[in-house]
Every structure is written in structure tokens, then in C-alpha cells.
A and B are shown apart, each in its own frame.
Chain A
Amino acid sequence: MQVTVTVNGEEYTRDVDTRLLLVHFLRDHLGLTGTHWGCDTSNCGVCTVWLDGVPVKSCTVLAVMADGHAVRTVEGLERNGTLDPVQEGFVQCHGLQCGFCTPGMMLTARWLLDHNPDPSEEQIREAISGQSCRCTGYENIVRSVRWAAEHSTVEATK
């Protein structure tokens, strides 16, 4: 079946199997490999992307469900060569080690900051609680998001 999905502002039209998962559509069909895959059961969250502005687990969405909708992936965080404060924050606060959970974590963080520009540690923990990280023990992820909150300008978050 033919689908047209807007990914990071660009429109892509592809012929896909109806059972194709969005995560595989992004990775295998569009070559956007920044979105990862890590489990069979919607638990790990490394596949997290935005669908129409809301974080979703792209292993649990069919590509055909994204037909006519807008997806934002980690590749769409940087704008015009400027890193999102969340990306900067993850570097400054050592919010990543292996980097496998990082794209999903950053997308959730961006969403959180868009809705709550000054989140508490508890609110950050809650926001990322559906996503696993096996390396960082979460502490530096929380600090990274705080860093981004403290260094966000209105411009950068648009």
C-alpha cells in the first residue's frame, strides 16, 4: 500500500506492506537509522519518535497508521545546523554512554520541555519512565534535561 509520511518536514511516499512497523519504515525504507529498536513488547522506548507532536513508540505503530501524518525523529532535532538545547545538554551532562537509548530520550525531553519549560527532577523522571537506559542509571539524563531547561531560549524550542 502507498503511504505518504512527513518526516522531519520532508514528505516521503513509499509502497509498503500493511504490516510494516513505523520503526522499520524509518530505518530500512528511509535510511533514518537514528531511531533504534530494542524489544518485542513496547517496553524499552529506544524507538521513541514524535507522531503529530506526541512521543510514540514507533515499534508499536504501523507505517500505514502514519500515512498523512507528521513524524519527528532524532535527525530532526537539529535545526539549521543548530543543536537543540537538549542535544547540548546530553553532551554537557554526560547523558549518554552507548547512545542507544539517547535519540528516544532526547525526543521525550524535547516534548516535555515544550509543555513544561521548567520541569522538576521528579517530572523529568516521570516523563522518561517509559524508556529504559542500561548505561547511565538515569541520573545524568535527568541533569541533561535540566541543563536544557536552563539553557533554552524561546527561539530554540520553536
Chain B
Amino acid sequence: MTTVETPMGYGSMRRKEDARFIRGRGTYVDDVTLPGMLYGAVLRSPFAHARIVSIDTKAAEAHPKVRAVITGAILDGLKLAWMPTLSYDTQAVLATDKVRFQGQEVAFVVAEDRYAARDALELIDVEYEPLPAVVDARRALDPDAPVIRDDKDGKTDNHIFDWSSGDKDATDRVFSEAEVVVTQDVLYPRVHPAPLETCGAIADFDKVTGKLTIWCNTQAPHAHRTVYAMVAGLPEHKIRIISPDIGGGFGNKVGIYPGYVCAVVGSIVTGRPVKWMEDRSENLMSTSFARDYHMRGEIAATRDGKIRAVRVSVIADHGAFNGTAQPTKFPAGFFHVFTGSYDLEAAHCAVTGVYTNKAPGGVAYACSFRVTEAAYLIERMVDVLAYELGTDPAALRMRNLLRPEQFPYPSPTGWEYDSGDYPRALALAMDIAGYDDLRAEQAAQRERWAAGEVGGTLMGVGISFFTEAVGAGPRKHMDILGLGMADGAELRVHPTGKAVLRISVQSQGQGHETTYAQIVAEELGISPDDIEVVHGDTDQTPFGLGTYGSRSTPVSGAATAVVARKVRERARIVAGAMLEVSPEDLEWEKGRWFVRGDPDQGRTITEIALAAHSSLELPEGVEGHLDATTVYNPPNLTFPFGAYICVVDVDPGTGRVKVRRFVAVDDCGVRINPMIVEGQVHGGLADGIGMALMELIAFDPDGNCLGASFMDYLLPTSMECPSWELGATVTPSPHHPIGAKGVGESATVGSPAAVVNAVLDALKPFGVRHADMPLTPAAVWRAIQGAPLRTDLAIG
């Protein structure tokens, strides 16, 4: 078995993809220039909710560099004005009747260069009749709320779905007899993944061959191909999606955006390739946001701190079109993993999704389908309980964590956690942090503070223990638009023993070209340097649903191991023929089959590869060559987990929060490349600081987006981030071929609660039990002054 110290074979090997990136020779979509290429730009709505009275494009069309102006009316004639979303809703490609959020797509200009396309937008004259906007999700179901989706037949309200999970009666029963019940309203505000590369595409339609090639920085190229076939009615074999290097995704690049469809139409109309790249404000205003969950959590416990049940109700703000990307059966994603890491008698959640006049999208920003909201809620609630009981939050967690012998653990909301040793992870984190010393330091500081010492900061220590649920499918439970979540892999060993692996998923920085080569290398004994990983081109790779929800390693990584093992079995037959022994008499050691009991009699994988392509006579029914394909259908999700401890210093005079330390112990099962795992954790921890302290997509009462640039939507910099202190435990997944679990989003899921809990721990002397993110200096200062929870933020 692998351990932290000795990970799989090639361990922390340096990344193969770095060679091009450090030379500035990556190929991001905006780096691609095709012959004769034109540039598109989108005209967007200045209003959150307005009827379109008229659109005059004459002046724009007269611009000497403009080649086409496309409006909703034109698309309507092509039956393309609306497109399906990933949640079986519809979304306007270009608005025809109304605009439903600020920044919505209204018209598309195609011109000879980027600047001219932008100029021409100014020449389009749109007359709007503004309507009242629905901004506060909690008011969306009021009887007098304006109806946003009157395009849908018979729609008279803003309701999208009601969904629940768990046993309501059993939960209510526990609550009715519980010694202690605490209730807390918790908002997870709207945030945005904001990868540094914005979304974009180049559409290239060849009239002669009928082939449509789309270069697009999508995380899910195969799913895109199928959806384009559905949207545009083009035959799927005539569509090729090339997803080149991607400058970060974090869920932002899963869906199909109207700009992509417009680029396709633009190319069909002009007969030339059309590039569309959004700018930053378009990215922040119109593409997949994340969170926006208005939650009420309740915990039932005994007086001495045994947690018995959790009850949750949620209003989920899905914006103007329900475009969330999660498995069809789960409109609230995997939110029902909100019971977290604890042993409960019962649990129940009820989620109501509503339309508002805000950007559509929903599940994005490294959240594993709403696990982030769930983990934040339960970890905040446990701290609220600790506050009320006057217990130490670490001790309260230790008392209630699932025990190793309870795995596989059937959760009260229907999950089966695969494996875990939770107390070990928490103990390790406390050990690294020096938990007792921190508490002693804090106690001494509080004493000085209570004695009237003025000035200085107040320290806080925050804990979060999270359980993630990643690696969607299995396909029978999980699909998007009917496409089951299983992923293919193809492996071909060339005659000289070098190999090419083709996979369905796409990297946005995760280093697949390295880690997938490592998996094959481990299984076949070929050097990773001799294995080429091909991804991101639907004409060259097998079908699969793509990279999001931390599913690459659990699903595609598993497919890679399985396909390599198939090749190994074929190699065994070939080796048997070479050695003139029965394959059953052969044994494997890394890179070589040999005769059992006679180790000198053997053939290396390179020798076998050549023989497989030679004139060697093979047993009846055995095909030549050395290759295999597979489709991996995961039997279950994997459940990585972790214990995080954050130490902050809060200046009560200004409300400023400084993160002093952050300890993160992650258990993601077997680590293929620990260096890459740690890098991903680092990035997620920075996300957590961003969301907890800075990032917010807020709106004013008219629905104007107040987070539409990096001057307003604040990303954490090197100055806000401490030097991360990582630890690891390894509890392999029992059902994954190499025991690995996903990790890409773990830190984003787990860290916000640790930061917020730390800040509130610091504010304890002021009697502050809860405050909502982001804990900006102003928010902290207001909390200290005893202000009620900000309701204006709740709008955001």
C-alpha cells in the first residue's frame, strides 16, 4: 500500500506541461489565429429586467469593418434564439422578448478586428422598457413578485423546484425531544470562479465539408459536442471541439454560453472563422456564478455535546435561467452531504430553487456540486453549537466525528462514504497547529484585553472538518441532459514500446499530461516520459463528461488504470506466445512478464510491444497489436476529507482580518503526484480566504451588478495568503482501482468555514455568534458594534 511518504511510483515528478508554459508557448484559445478570422462582440443589457421595444442595427451594419450583426430576431428565424441549459431549462442566446439580468446578451457583431467589433456595439440602438427586478431571492416567491420567466407557458411565479432529502419525520422527532436546539441563518453569498483566462471560442464552419470546428476553453469538450448537435441540429460527427490549454476553469468553463453559439452562427453566416473572447466584466456579470444559498440550519444535540440531528431549509438563487450543471436527479447538487463528517441519528433538508433577475449558472467555483455550501453550513453550525454550549470546537468535533470502524458509512441522506479515519486527521491538524498552545496564547490575550488593555489585535482559531463527495457517476444515478457520467480511455502501445493515452477529460491546470502518464507508467512499467497523453480534442479522444466536480482522477484516472491493466493482460498472452508457455504460468513485475519459478525467462513490455506488432503467431482469437479501450463507470463517489485549522488576528478598531496561519490536513486516498496534490490544495485554500474575506458578487436593489470588475470583485493576492502548512493522511478508496480520491476542490470546500470560524472565534469577547461572508473590515466592524446581520448583503 502507498503511504504519504511513498506515494505511487513516480511520485512528485515535475510536470511535463511546464516546458511550454514557462516559455510562453502554451496555446490558449485567444492565442489561436485562423486564416481569415473575424472577431465577435456581444451587446449586453444595461438593465436587470426590461422589455425590449426595438433594436436598430442599421448604423452598426454600415460600419466599414462589420461583416454581420446578429439579433434575437435573426436567431429566432433559425430556431436558435433559445438553447437548452444543462438543467433542462431554456436560456436565451440573444434576447427576443425581454432581458432578464444585467449583462444579458442582446446582439452580436462580427467585424474584421476586435476593436471594430467593440466600436460597432456602440452603434446599435436598443429601446428598453424597464420592469421591476427581483433581486432578493427570499422575495422571489412573494405573490406580487414580477414574473421573470413569462416566456414559459403558464408560468405565474418564480419557482423552479422543490427538493428534499433525508427522513423528515425522524428528524422532527429528534428535534422535538432534544435537550438543545440551535438555529442559525447562514448565507453563502454569490461568488464567481473568475479564472484569469476568460471564456472564449473560435467557431470555424466549413461550408464545403459541413464540418464545424470549435476551439473553446471548455472543461467538457465531449458534452459540448453533443449539446451543439442538439442545439444547432448539426450532425454530431461533423462537429469537432478542440479545447486547448485552459487558463483556469474552476467550474466556470463547463456550460455553453450564448457567445459560443453566436460565434457559430457568425461563422455560418460569414463563411469565415469567428473568434469571441469575453472581457472581464462580461465574465463576472454573465457567466456561471457560484453559491447564492440562503440557508437556515438547525442542530439538535444533548446538553453535553452529542449532535443528534440536523435540519436545513434553503432558498437557492439560480438567476434568470436555471443553468446549473449538476446531475439531473439532484437539482441541489450534492447539497445533501450537509450531514458532513458526523454520526447523526437523523437529518433532513429542503431546498427551493427560485428565479431572480441575475446571471444564470449556479454550480461553479470548485464546489463539487454544492458540497461547498453543505460543508460551510455544517461547520458553521457546529461552531454555533460550541458557542452556545461553551465547549471547545475541536473537542465538540472529536466527540461527534464518524469513527473509522463505521466505514463504509451509510449517511442519513443516502450516501455511502467509502473510507475514512477522521479522528486521525483532526488530531494531526491539531498537532501541526499546536492547538493547545494556540488556545493558551488566546486565553492570555483575552485576559489582558478584558483587563482593559487597549490596542493590538485579537486572535481567533477556526476549525473545519469536511467530507467531500466527488467523482460523479455512477451513470445510473448521474447524468447531464441524459448523458451518463462514465468516461472512456484508450491506450495504445506502439511497436517500439512508447505509448499514447487518450482520455475524455480536459485539464485546466491540473497537470493531466503528467499524472495520467504516471498512472500508465505504474501499471505497465513504461517511463512516463514515453507516454503521450492526448486530451481536449473530440476527434481524437473517447467520449466522457469532462473535468469538474473533482471527477478526473476518480473517474478518468480509474479508466486509465483499468485500460492499462487490460493492455497488461494482452501483453501477458503475447508474452506467453513468445516464451511458448501458457499465459497462466506468467507472473508480472513492473514492466515485465516472466515465467513463474524461472524469473530469468521473461519478456519486457517493450519486447512484447514489438512482438505484438510482428509476425509472431498468437493464440486463436487473440488480435495483434497492444492496445485497449475502456469506459469506466464508477461504482460510487469517492469521499476525500480533511481537517483545517486557521489562525487569524483581527483588529477590533478597523475590522481588518489578517490570516496568520493555515494548517490543512487532507486525505484524498492514494496520491499519484503529491506535489500536484499539494499545489491544488494551496490554490483551494487561497479560494477559501477569498470567499471568506473578500469575494462577493453583490447587486443593488435595481439588479445592477456590483462585482463586475476586479476593482470590485477582489481576488486574494500574495499578501492576504499566509504560507500554507500542509499535512496528509492516506486512507485509500476501496473501490477505486488505485485507491485514489479526487482532491481538486477539497480545499475550496473546506477552507471558508475555517477562516470564518476563526474570525468569529476572535470576536467571541464581543458576543458575536455569527456573521456572513465576506468578512470585509466593514462587515467585521459592524459585527463588533452589535449590528444585526446585514440584510443588504443577503441580496448579493
> Which chain A residues have a beta carbon within 8 Å of chain B's beta carbons?
17, 19-20, 24, 27-28, 31-41, 43-44, 46, 73-75, 77-78, 83, 87, 90-92, 94, 96-103, 106, 121, 124-126, 128-142
- State the majority secondary structure of interface residues on A: loop
Distance (whole angstroms) from the CB of A96 to the closest CB of chain B: 6
Q: Bin chain B's interface residue count.
A: 35 or more
Query: Assuming A36-B28, A142-B723, is B710 touching A44 (CB within 8 A)?
Result: yes
Provide the bound-state CA to CA distance between A32 and B25, in Å: 9
Provide the bound-state CA to CA distance between A77 and B718, in Å: 23
Q: Which of B248, B510, B710 contacts A39 (CB 8 A)?
A: B710
Among the listed stretches B203-211, B488-496, B677-685, which one makes contact with chain A, having 4 or more residues with CB under 8 Å of it? B677-685
Which residues of chain B are near A90, meaning CB under 8 Å?
A: 18, 22
Q: Which residue of A lies closest to B511 (CB)?
A: A97
User: B400 near A: Cβ within 8 Å?
Assistant: no
- Asked if residues B675 and A138 are in contact (CB atoms below 8 Å), the reply is no
* Contact code string B105-142 (vs A, CB < 8 Å = 1, else 0): 00000000011000000000000000000000000000
Query: Assuming A100-B248, A136-B682, is B711 touching A41 (CB within 8 A)?
Result: yes
Nearest 10 A-B pairs (CB), nearest first? A34-B24, A98-B509, A100-B247, A99-B21, A137-B682, A74-B24, A97-B509, A43-B710, A137-B686, A33-B31
Query: Assuming A40-B279, A41-B711, is B24 touching A140 (CB within 8 A)?
Result: no
Q: Which of B20, B33, B195, B718 contacts A134 (CB 8 A)?
A: B195
Provide the bound-state CA to CA distance between A25 and B627, in Å: 47
- Asked if residues B196 and A139 are in contact (CB atoms below 8 Å), the reply is no
Provide the bound-state CA to CA distance between A14 and B658, in Å: 48
Distance (whole angstroms) from the CB of A55 to the closest CB of chain B: 15
Known: A43-B710, A100-B509. 11 other contacts (CB 8 A): A33-B27, A40-B280, A41-B709, A43-B715, A74-B24, A75-B23, A94-B14, A98-B197, A98-B248, A129-B718, A135-B683
Distance (whole angstroms) from the CB of B752 to the closest CB of chain A: 14
User: For residues 656 through 687 of chain B, which have their beta carbon under 8 Å from a beta carbon of chain A?
Assistant: 675-676, 678-686
Which residues of chain B are near A135, meaning CB under 8 Å?
A: 248, 509, 679, 683
- Asked if residues B709 and A39 are in contact (CB atoms below 8 Å), the reply is yes
Query: Assuming A38-B196, A46-B196, A129-B719, is B509 touching A102 (CB within 8 A)?
Result: no
Q: Which residue of B lies closest to A24 (CB)?
A: B114
- Asked if residues B709 and A134 are in contact (CB atoms below 8 Å), the reply is no
Which residues of chain B are near A136, meaning CB under 8 Å?
A: 679, 682-683, 686
Distance (whole angstroms) from the CB of B467 to the closest CB of chain A: 22
Distance (whole angstroms) from the CB of A139 to the closest CB of chain B: 5
Distance (whole angstroms) from the CB of B31 to the closest CB of chain A: 4
Query: Assuming A75-B24, A99-B17, is B280 touching A134 (CB within 8 A)?
Result: no
Provide the bound-state CA to CA distance between A146 and B711, in Å: 30
User: B30 near A: Cβ within 8 Å?
Assistant: yes
- Asked if residues A137 and B711 are in contact (CB atoms below 8 Å), the reply is no
Q: Which residue of B lies closest to A143 (CB)?
A: B723
Provide the bound-state CA to CA distance between A90 and B246, in Å: 18
Query: Assuming A75-B23, A137-B684, is B715 touching A132 (CB within 8 A)?
Result: yes
- Asked if residues B510 and A97 are in contact (CB atoms below 8 Å), the reply is yes
- Asked if residues A32 and B24 are in contact (CB atoms below 8 Å), the reply is yes
Query: Assuming A40-B280, A135-B683, A142-B718, is B710 touching A99 (CB within 8 A)?
Result: no
User: B354 near A: Cβ within 8 Å?
Assistant: no
Which residues of chain B are near A103, meaning CB under 8 Å?
A: 24
- Asked if residues B718 and A34 are in contact (CB atoms below 8 Å), the reply is no
User: B721 near A: Cβ within 8 Å?
Assistant: yes
Among B25, B194, B247, residue most surrounded by chain A Cβ atoms (within 10 Å): B247
* Contact code string B395-415 (vs A, CB < 8 Å = 1, else 0): 000000000000000000000
- Asked if residues B709 and A98 are in contact (CB atoms below 8 Å), the reply is no
Provide the bound-state CA to CA distance between A141 and B194, in Å: 20
User: B250 near A: Cβ within 8 Å?
Assistant: yes
User: For residues 13 through 45 of chain B, which have their beta carbon under 8 Å from a beta carbon of chain A?
Assistant: 14-15, 17-28, 30-31, 33
* Contact code string B675-710 (vs A, CB < 8 Å = 1, else 0): 110111111111000000000000000000000011
Provide the bound-state CA to CA distance between A6 and B367, in Å: 45
Which residues of chain A are near B510, meaning CB under 8 Å?
A: 97
Q: Which of B18, B280, B676 contacts A91 (CB 8 A)?
A: B18
Listed by A's residue number, 17 A-B pairs whose Cβ atoms lie within 8 Å are: A19-B115, A28-B33, A32-B24, A34-B25, A34-B26, A36-B197, A40-B281, A44-B710, A87-B22, A94-B676, A98-B247, A100-B26, A103-B24, A132-B196, A137-B681, A137-B684, A137-B724
Provide the bound-state CA to CA distance between A139 and B678, in Å: 10
- Asked if residues B197 and A100 are in contact (CB atoms below 8 Å), the reply is yes
Query: Assuming A41-B709, A78-B23, A134-B715, is B14 touching A99 (CB within 8 A)?
Result: no
Which residues of chain B are near A74, meaning CB under 8 Å?
A: 22-24
Distance (whole angstroms) from the CB of B300 to the closest CB of chain A: 37
User: B468 near A: Cβ within 8 Å?
Assistant: no
Query: Assuming A36-B197, A91-B15, A100-B28, is B721 touching A138 (CB within 8 A)?
Result: yes
* Contact code string B241-256 (vs A, CB < 8 Å = 1, else 0): 0000111101000000
Which residues of chain B are near A138, meaning CB under 8 Å?
A: 682, 686, 717-718, 721
Which residues of chain B are near A92, meaning CB under 8 Å?
A: 14
Q: Which residue of A lies closest to B689 (CB)?
A: A137
Q: Which residue of A lies closest to B714 (CB)?
A: A43
Q: Which residue of B lies closest to A124 (CB)?
A: B718
- Asked if residues B280 and A101 are in contact (CB atoms below 8 Å), the reply is no
Provide the bound-state CA to CA distance between A134 and B21, in Å: 16
- Asked if residues A99 and B247 are in contact (CB atoms below 8 Å), the reply is yes
Q: Which residue of A lies closest to B245 (CB)?
A: A99
Which residues of chain B are near A78, meaning CB under 8 Å?
A: 23
Q: Which residue of B lies closest to A20 (CB)?
A: B115
- Asked if residues B26 and A38 are in contact (CB atoms below 8 Å), the reply is no
User: B508 near A: Cβ within 8 Å?
Assistant: yes
User: B198 near A: Cβ within 8 Å?
Assistant: yes
Q: Which of A99, A129, A142 contacts B717 (CB 8 A)?
A: A129
Provide the bound-state CA to CA distance between A67 and B685, in Å: 43
Provide the bound-state CA to CA distance between A27 and B27, in Å: 12
- Asked if residues B21 and A102 are in contact (CB atoms below 8 Å), the reply is yes
Provide the bound-state CA to CA distance between A141 and B675, in Å: 13
Query: Assuming A98-B197, A128-B718, A136-B679, is B280 touching A41 (CB within 8 A)?
Result: yes
Which residues of chain A are near B710, meaning CB under 8 Å?
A: 39, 41, 43-44, 132
